[in-house]
Structure 1
């Protein structure tokens, strides 16, 4: 079974998944937040998923960001629709910066690095990879 991760945002969400052996995290897609549950329904009909990791957003001083309210609402709705999938939180501090750095290291052109959809997808993969590394 795979593990999914979401870099949750007000307008759009980056989504990543592991391979079936839960070794490697890969960015899948950036989905408009309003269509996230439709996307999840379709994905979960095709792939077996055991866990969902949601990025936990904190301010620099460690306090919660206003988006946390949205994330909690998303998690409640997710639990109701997909009760067999465990939900985990993973600190997402600096994942967008790390995503941009990895895009630069991969040699992506400046125009592609400015594409926020690419950044969100890679940030979700970083959240998932951090989760996998902490589990080991």
Structure 2
């Protein structure tokens, strides 16, 4: 059985979440410095059976692409060159950062831990994955 991996791509850091092998539970995996992302994925794909990758698609409220889409498109080209056989899907990621921050508040994390942008990115990736799983 294979996992599904989700990415909340950012220019500095990328949050990563993954399902269990039965594809029932979405869990935060880690946050990786974006320049190291392709290498991280290469290593991860060698260790784990991944059947598809989901990449957040940032959109404005009027459905136009966000400013960061330019950077994501550059990553998608590199990804397709490095992993041509890996299916990739885009998932609307509007409000995931706000939802991630609210999740941190709801779970009782203190202010200092809520400032951890890497944790917000990881939780955002988990929300992207959950939205795809439960649609």
**TM-score of the alignment, normalized to the shorter chain, above 0.5:** yes
Report deviation, 1:72. 1.6
Render the CA deviation track for 1:63-97: whole Å, top value 9, x for unaligned: 11121122122112212211221100111000011
Q: SS at the partner of 2:63?
A: coil
More displaced, 23-32 or 57-66?
A: 57-66
Name the CA distance, whole Å, in 2 between partners of 1:116 and 1:98. 13
When the two structures are superposed, what TM-score results if normalisation uses the length of structure 2?
0.95
Q: State the partner residue of 2:35.
A: 34
Q: State the partner residue of 1:25.
A: 26
Q: Where in structure 1 do 4 or more consecutive aligned residues deviate above 4 Å?
A: none
When the two structures are superposed, what TM-score results if normalisation uses the length of structure 1?
0.94
> What number of residue pairs does the alignment pair up?
134
Residue 129 in 1 paired to residue 123 in 2?
A: no
Once superposed, what is the RMSD of the aligned Cα atoms? 1.0
Extract unaligned runs of 5+ from structure 2: none
Extract unaligned runs of 5+ from structure 1: none
Q: State the partner residue of 2:76.
A: 75
Q: State the partner residue of 2:14.
A: 13
Name the CA distance, whole Å, in 2 between partners of 1:87 and 1:19. 18
Q: State the partner residue of 1:103.
A: 104
Q: SS at the partner of 1:80?
A: helix
Q: State the partner residue of 1:54.
A: 55
